[in-house]
Amino acid sequence: MLPQLRVPQYKLTLPSTGKELTYRPFTVKEEKILLMALDEDDSSQIRALRQVIENCLFGAVNATKLPTFDIDYIWLKIRSKSIEEIVTIPFECRNKLPEGEKHKDPDGQEIDYCGNIVNVPVNLDLIETVKNPSNNPKIELQDGIGIVLKYPTFELFQKLGQLNEKDIDNSLEIILDCVEMIYDSTGAVYERENISRDELITFLESLSQVQFAKVLEFFETLPAVRHKVHFKCPKCKHEVDVVVEGTKSFLASDSATNHLGI
């Protein structure tokens, strides 16, 4: 029997619960799973990603039940140890030219800023998930009536991937899935499993624009991977700190994960 290779192990802290988990980089076998899924539809790609994440966490989590921002974070960490810790992100220098001055960018467009593209190295290991203080799952609607929401999970993302986007209102589908309960001023609580889909749609459709916006705000302020990057333009010497947010921003140049949609 051939000798077995030892796989390095690392620790990460799950953003949603603070629980510490052990993970390993993905191997050639798992890279193959990811690459093969690239030629298939969205739901196969999501399934492949789920499989690789669960393998690399030694089966300690059920990825479908995790919030999407946990998946984002875990993926960045696994990818960092599997492929490379440092990625380069191209930034365009937005330093304004002196008043009235203009020049042409490579496409021939007239611009009034520097426009130089600078590749800035970012260490994926240093990226953390940041919680937004205005992200509140309890939404007070009116006269003591309100909704309690929960984070969208990877399972929901999977479900949306299978739906025909033209036929369905995705944002409504997300909200329906994330309602945990509805409460009123008498202290009565209506748990999601005891509310029918139709009843819940009728309730949501009765919200005013302002109330609906409050519900949407929860989804717009979910925790997200975020990192401050120092940008320095060698052409005009402009220096600025840029905040990069969301997995896509960090891995846009990486075709494998880009296609996987997170």
**Residue 111 makes contact with Zn ion by CB under 5 A:** no
- Interface pick for Zn ion out of 229, 236, 244, 252 (rule CB under 5 A): 236
CA 200, chain centre distance (Å): 27
Tell me how far apart the terminal alpha carbons of the chain are, to the nearest angstrom. 40
Where helices occur in the chain by DSSP H, the ranges are 28-38, 42-56, 68-82, 154-162, 170-178, 197-205, 209-220, 247-251, 255-260
- The verdict on 94 binding Zn ion (CB under 5 A) reads no
Amino acid letter for position 231: F
**Residue 116 engages Zn ion in binding (rule: CB under 5 A):** yes
Q: How far is the CB of 246 from Zn ion (least distance, A)?
A: 25
Per CB under 5 A, which region of 90-98, 127-135, 199-207, 221-229 contacts Zn ion?
90-98
Please report how close the Cβ of residue 252 comes to Zn ion at its closest, in angstroms.
21
Q: Assess contact for 94 and 113: CB atoms under 8 A.
A: yes
Using the minimum distance from each CB to Zn ion, give the nearer residue, 11 or 102: 102
**235 touches Zn ion by CB under 5 A:** yes
Q: Is 93 in the site for Zn ion (CB under 5 A)?
A: yes
Q: How far is the CB of 116 from Zn ion (least distance, A)?
A: 4
131, 192, 238, 248: residue in contact with Zn ion (rule CB under 5 A): 238
| Run of H or E including 210 | helix 209-220
Q: Decide: is 14 part of the binding site for Zn ion (CB under 5 A).
A: no
Q: Which residue lies nearer to Zn ion by CB, 160 or 233?
A: 233
Assess contact for 25 and 82: CB atoms under 8 A.
Answer: yes
The residue ranges of DSSP E strands in the chain, in sequence order, are 10-13, 20-23, 86-92, 103-104, 110-111, 117-123, 128-130, 138-142, 145-149, 179-183, 189-191, 224-232, 239-245
Find the shortest distance in angstroms from Cβ 231 to Zn ion.
Answer: 9
Which residues would be at the binding site for Zn ion (CB under 5 A)? 93, 95, 114, 116, 233, 235-236, 238
